[in-house]
Amino acid sequence: MSRKVYVAGKLVPAEQATVSVFDHGLLYGDGIFEGIRVYGSRVFLLKEHIDRLYESALAIRLQIPLSPAEMTKAVEETVKANELIDGYVRLVVTRGPGSLGLDIRRTSNPQVIIIADTISMYPPEMYENGMRIITASTIRNHPGALSPKVKSLNYLNNIMAKIEGTDAGTEEALMLNHNGEVAECTADNIFIVKRGVLKTPQPDCGLLEGITRGAVMRLAREADIEVRECVLVRHDIYTADECFLTGTGAEVIAVVSLDGRMIGSGKPGPITRNLLDRFRRLTRGA
C-alpha cells in the first residue's frame, strides 16, 4: 500500500508530498514538531501532544492554520488512511515559504505535515540486557537562549551529541547543561533509582519534558514509588542503583553503563522492569 502524507490540507501519496524550497522550516529550522506513537490503531496521548504543539507554536509566534480539534482529526485520519496498527506519527508545522532572510513578516502559509509510518525501536535484547551510554561533550542549548519546552525543528544540538554516541559505539549519549548538570539524552529523558526513590532532572535543568516521561512518572506514583524532580550530576548516575531512559520510541529502557562505568548490578533493575511492564500494559493492554 502506498503511504499517504497529510500536506497542504489534504492526504496525498508520499512521493507527491512536497514543500517549497523557500520554506523557512527547511532554510532555518523555523518550525515545531511532535513525535507520537500509535498502539492498536490508537494514537497514544494525542491530546497531550497536541497541547504541547500549540504551546510551542505560541512560544515562537507561529500561527497554526488549524484549530486543535481540526489538527486532532487530521492526525487520526492520516493514521486511518495508512491503516497503521502500531507505528509512529511525525507531526510538523513549518513557518511556511518566505524570502531569503530571517524576517517572519515575509513568510506566509504555514505548512502542516503529518506522516504516519512504522517505527524502528531498539532491539529486543537491549530491553533484556540494558544499554550503554556515554556523556557527550556537546552540551544542551542554554535554556536562556531558547526554552527547552519548545520542540523545534532545529535539532542540530542533539544531532552533534548523537554523533558522539555513535562514534563511541553506543545508541544514546547523555547531555549536560551549561552548569554541568544532567539534562537529558539526545532523544530520551533520563531517570535513576536510588534507595527506592525515582529521580529525574527538574525542568529548569534544560530538558524537554517528554510526554512519555510524564506518563512514566504517573505510573510510578500509582505504584507507590516516590518520584522526585531534582538536580542530578553524573556522580548520581554513576552511583545509582538503577538507571533508565524514556521516550516516544524508546518507551522505557534500562541503562547499565555510563562512560564505561557499570550502574548498579549491570542489569535492568526491578523498578525499571516494573515500570516497563506497567507502560506496556498501559499502551498495549497486555
Here the CATH number for the domain that contains residue 16 is 3.30.470.10
Ramachandran region, residue 235 (left: φ > 0; alpha: ψ -120 to 50; beta: rest): alpha
Here the CATH number for the domain that contains residue 150 is 3.20.10.10
Asked if 80 is an active-site residue, the reply is: no
Which residue among the candidates 4, 151, 162, 199 is catalytic per the annotation? Answer: 151
150 and 242, same domain (yes or no): yes
Boundary of a domain, candidates 91, 117, 143? 117
Q: What is the pLDDT of residue 284?
A: 87
- How many whole angstroms separate alpha carbon 231 and alpha carbon 214? 17
Q: pLDDT tens, position by position, for the chain (286 residues)?
A: 689 999 999 999 999 999 999 999 999 999 999 999 999 999 999 999 999 999 999 999 999 999 999 999 999 999 999 999 999 999 999 999 999 999 999 999 999 999 999 988 889 999 999 999 999 999 999 999 999 999 999 999 999 999 999 999 999 999 999 999 999 999 999 999 999 999 999 999 999 999 999 999 999 999 999 999 999 999 999 999 999 999 999 999 999 999 999 999 999 999 999 999 999 999 987 5
Site of grid cell 505510573:
219
- How many whole angstroms separate alpha carbon 69 and alpha carbon 148? 25
281 in Cβ contact with 223 (< 8 Å) = no
Query: Which three-class secondary structure state does DSSP give residue 229?
Result: strand
145 and 80, same domain (yes or no): no
CA nearest neighbour of 183 among 140, 151, 247, 226: 140
- Exposed/middle/buried for 36, CB within 10 Å: 0-12, 13-18, 19+? buried
Q: How many separate domains does the chain show? A: 2
Q: What is the pLDDT of residue 1?
A: 67
The residue range of the domain holding 133 is 124-284
107 and 209, same domain (yes or no): no
- Could you list the beta-strand ranges (E) of 126-219: 131-135, 172-176, 182-185, 189-194, 197-201
106 and 154, same domain (yes or no): no
The total number of residues written for the chain in this structure: 286
| pTM of the entire predicted model | 0.95
248 and 137, same domain (yes or no): yes
34 in Cβ contact with 51 (< 8 Å) = no
Boundary of a domain, candidates 97, 117, 137? 117
